[in-house]
Structure 1
Amino acid sequence: MSVSKEFARYVTGLTFAQLPSEVVAFTKTCILDWLGSAYAGAKKPPVQMMAQVAAELGGAEQATLMTGGRSSVTHAALVNGAASHIVELDDIHKASIIHAGTVVIPAALAVAQWQQKSGEELIEAIVAGYEVCYRIGEAVSPSHYYFWHNTATCGTFGAAVAAGKLLGLDEEQLVHTLGSAGTQAAGLWEFIEDGAMSKQLHPGKAAMNGILAALLAQKGFTAASKILEGNRGFVRAMSQEANAEQMTQGLGSTYKIMENSFKIHASCRHTHHAIDLILEMIAQHAISWREVERVRVQTYQVALTITDNPNPASVYAAKFSLQYCTALALVKGSAGLRDFSEEALYDPAIRKVMSRVEVAVDPIMDARYPETWEATVELTFTDGTTLKKHTEYPKGDPENPVSHDDIVQKFLALSVDLPQDSILHDLQMVERLEQVPDVALLFAQGRGWV
């Protein structure tokens, strides 16, 4: 049996009744976490540009845009995926290195709203989408991640599965859905060299392409039946590991969504370990940045490949600078959404501390990545004393968890500009999502979800 066939059989067989209560509750937390990021990102210029393009392209008003108004189901996924990724507060999975929320949830929401599916059906689809894309991401990582943005590539499969589940596709149709998803999977890291806007295009296009793949399969459109493990398929083309068998080991016996991590700092996840350590040192020892002569950060190679930038020239680039994020945390005592600003970008104190930050690869940490995302931070003070602290798991990982209440507070902070009745509507709807008969009710005009 092909890998695609095994995934298709798993997806068609998954029912809400099978899901443990903790999986249902956790999935709703993921949705609320996604929603806060989408609200916070909707007004950002790159997302507005994409919304303008969606308006110019037109299409039936099938689903709601987080930027306002309605558009086709594919355009809604495109815009909403981008909106949920841009503020760098979306969820992440360590082993697969995927921000699944930004691709699976906007695709599932758009189709569920359009097809008037229930909250139970939406939860089913999201669980299935996370499961499949995480398994694919694990099998091709870490080598895939050097050139390819896993959220864009592997995430396309998750969006396709979620859309196909909601469209009621059978096994054969889902095999073709995965085939069309895989042949569209793309997203190169080269954009990071310029600090370009492509990172927002990646999850939006992955969500959009996933829906397109499912819609084509529904009409009888065929695609590669072994897109994942085939001789010219996804794994062989885009990874040095080529471990397709790993993808389906234990399929159906676990729920990968429960391995999801949540972000509490508004920057690249590869900077969070250092931020956490700095904030813990400040809390425990009342450190002032003025007393610090040198900061040494040791971590795994991928973290430096993505975030070794000693002189970021934009606010967005600063989110991908380990030096900047470390200095920001030391000077400001936080690294939230509002801490990253034009004013803070060239803050003399932050720039002064940045010049004292050294980054390096630790071979042992590097060997354990991506199972652990480790860092050690060592501070050397002006009096010659030192302070060192290590972590294996950034805050928000399952091994270092945040609570549902923490995610509620995060949502409230990210949706602060919304009317209070809209915020209350959102919280109530997510809380009782499995009781909602029609997902379109989530988008009640004038109340919530724009």
Structure 2
Amino acid sequence: MQTQEIQDTTLRTLANFVIEERCAAFLETEYLDCKRRLLDSFACGLAAFHQPACVQTRDLAIMHGGTGYSTLLGTHVRTNVEMAAFANGFLVRYLDGADTYPGGGGHPSDCWAGLLALSEHLQLSTEQLFRSAKVAYSVFHNLFVSAQLRNKGVDNAFYVTVGTAAGCAFLLGLDLKQTANAISMAVVPNISLAVARTGSLSTWKAGASANASRNGVFAAQLSAAGIQGPAMPFEGIRGLWDLTGPFKLESFDLGPSSLPRMQRAHMKQFLCDYHSQTPVLAAIQLYEQLNGESIESVQVHTYEFAHNEVASDPEKWAPNNRETADHSMPWIVAGVLISGSFGEHLFSADQLKNPIHRNLANRVVIHEDPHLTKKFPAEAPCRMSLKTYSGRYLDIEVSLPLGHPCHPMSDDQIKSKFITLTQSVIGDSAFQIFDNIWNLSPSEPVNQLISQIYLPH
């Protein structure tokens, strides 16, 4: 776009918000919440460090990333900004344990990889990184709740690209026109298809998010270099609205009594899809009541979105890879009822072939309950009942998972999750790394934050 006036009202609203955030107050509570979200993302990424697909993307970044200033998480290797964003984004998303906006919003934590890579490259401070994360989460969430693009077949990775581009425009200090160009170049070439998360899932489930973060960084860099995007990416002829229909953004000013957009992202206790969080809790409690009895059948009542997302495809009852299994309510429920706990053991190659696990999964029936559907997304309810071969019936209902905004994780619980996920990878240094990052001052450079996370190879 060549004129100073931005005629696309949606684009103008987004670009104005980014510019206004440069002068906005950044509260201590916002700084702390960013630390919580970043540490949670680091935990999920480090836990996935040795997963084959994550090794492949890291090797790709090392091979083709050239030289640069952006660190590959868990190493002392530096590469260019785009490849660091992709490889680190793949790590964070792979085990599906970071925060989410339920109901089709996807994972705003996917923006961190791009923001980290660029802020380290620019030698910026931790506070500048965190302020950019506030921008990214806000743009991401506003687009999600306003546009609801999942219903149009557009994947939630789209929100990652636009949110990351907005956050990176903030980091680069772009002016209004440049910021609008960055967002335009994030929107136009990055309409990601929701097929990435249907049926039998692939490693692109993580790749879509990593690619989105990388593309958001690149869009901002293009604008900084003087490249211009289409003037009407949302509202113009053949723009986004022609595909999705029109939508109007919410006001970015939520008011002092409203929950900030970052805090509206639900954190996860368990590393699997969000809609299986309460079923896991229900299954753990039922297991404790079984006293070793064998299960004849399991009935799970859930809300419509959960049923559609993780319990409607036949592949969910016989997953052939981790990507499908961690998005399968029947598989997860069966595994927890067998072992009494949730963990990576549910998704190992051997477990996916386990006849006992497969047999019980086939006896898990998932029902969409209209009464529970009305409660979502204010709650994530699950009612579960089972019958043993001795004729005993057990049932339970769980409404809120740990990490829900109405049932948030405490700082001690966030630390416990970090230690649990990373100790097997980085040893007892996990405690020191958590404390070091938790105690970082706002003025500390970003490279000080990320360089201390190193895995001996």
Q: Counterpart of 2:394 in 1: which secondary structure?
A: strand
Q: Counterpart of 1:195 in 2: which secondary structure?
A: coil
TM-score normalised by L of structure 1: 0.89
Q: State the match for 2:162 in structure 1.
A: 157
> Does 1:25 pair with 2:32?
yes
> Does 1:200 pair with 2:214?
no
Paired AA for residue 358 in structure 1: V
Change (3 A) 1:190 1:337: same
TM-score normalised by L of structure 2: 0.88
Q: Counterpart of 2:94 in 1: which secondary structure?
A: coil
Which moved further from structure 2: 402-411 or 41-50? 41-50
1:126 to 118, 133, 154: 133
1:353 to 360, 376, 385: 360
User: For 2:136 and 2:89, how far apart are their aligned partners in 1?
Assistant: 14
Answer whether contact 1:184 1:209 (CA < 8 A) is retained.
no
User: For 1:400 and 1:230, how far apart are their aligned partners in 2?
Assistant: 42
Deviations 1:22-68 (A, max 9, x none): 22211110000000111112222212222233233333322011263
- Would you say how many aligned residue pairs link Structure 1 and Structure 2? 440
Change (3 A) 1:144 1:368: farther
Paired AA for residue 362 in structure 1: D
Deviation of the 1:116 alpha carbon:
0.7
Deviation of the 1:371 alpha carbon:
4.6
Deviation of the 1:324 alpha carbon:
0.8
Q: State the match for 1:171 in structure 2.
A: 176
Q: Counterpart of 2:219 in 1: which secondary structure?
A: helix
Deviations 1:378-410 (A, max 9, x none): 223334443333334332211222212111111
1:380 to 373, 381, 387: 387
User: For 2:151 and 2:55, how far apart are their aligned partners in 1?
Assistant: 28
User: For 1:433 and 1:145, how far apart are their aligned partners in 2?
Assistant: 41
Pairwise mapping of residues 2-13 of structure 1 onto structure 2 (< 5 A)?
2-13=9-20
Q: State the match for 1:210 in structure 2.
A: 216
User: For 2:309 and 2:346, how far apart are their aligned partners in 1?
Assistant: 21
Q: CA RMSD in A?
A: 2.5
> Does 1:274 pair with 2:282?
no
Which moved further from structure 2: 111-120 or 195-204? 195-204
User: For 2:36 and 2:114, how far apart are their aligned partners in 1?
Assistant: 17
Deviation of the 1:303 alpha carbon:
2.2
> Does 1:391 pair with 2:398?
yes
Q: State the match for 1:51 in structure 2.
A: 58
Change (3 A) 1:317 1:94: closer
Paired AA for residue 329 in structure 1: V
Q: State the match for 1:99 in structure 2.
A: 107
Deviation of the 1:112 alpha carbon:
0.9
1:258 to 253, 260, 263: 263
Answer whether contact 2:73 2:450 (CA < 8 A) is retained.
no
Deviation of the 1:87 alpha carbon:
1.1
1:144 to 122, 128, 150: 150
> Does 1:296 pair with 2:299?
yes
> Does 1:222 pair with 2:225?
no
> What's the % identity of the aligned pairs?
23
Deviation of the 1:214 alpha carbon:
0.5
Which moved further from structure 2: 221-230 or 174-183? 221-230
> Does 1:90 pair with 2:98?
yes
Q: State the match for 1:305 in structure 2.
A: 308
1:363 to 358, 370, 374: 370
Change (3 A) 1:133 1:347: same
Q: Counterpart of 1:116 in 2: which secondary structure?
A: coil
Answer whether contact 1:31 1:430 (CA < 8 A) is retained.
no
Q: Counterpart of 1:193 in 2: which secondary structure?
A: coil
Deviation of the 1:291 alpha carbon:
4.2
Pairwise mapping of residues 361-440 of structure 1 onto structure 2 (< 5 A)?
361-367=368-374, 369-419=376-426, 422-440=429-447
> Does 1:182 pair with 2:187?
yes
User: For 2:376 and 2:155, how far apart are their aligned partners in 1?
Assistant: 17
User: For 1:108 and 1:305, how far apart are their aligned partners in 2?
Assistant: 32
2:46 to 39, 43, 53: 39
Which moved further from structure 2: 163-172 or 310-319? 310-319
Answer whether contact 1:46 1:197 (CA < 8 A) is retained.
yes
> Unpaired runs of 5+ in structure 1?
none
Answer whether contact 1:157 1:210 (CA < 8 A) is retained.
yes
Deviation of the 1:439 alpha carbon:
0.9
Q: Counterpart of 1:290 in 2: which secondary structure?
A: coil
User: For 1:222 and 1:369, how far apart are their aligned partners in 2?
Assistant: 41
User: For 2:439 and 2:326, how far apart are their aligned partners in 1?
Assistant: 35
Answer whether contact 2:267 2:403 (CA < 8 A) is retained.
yes
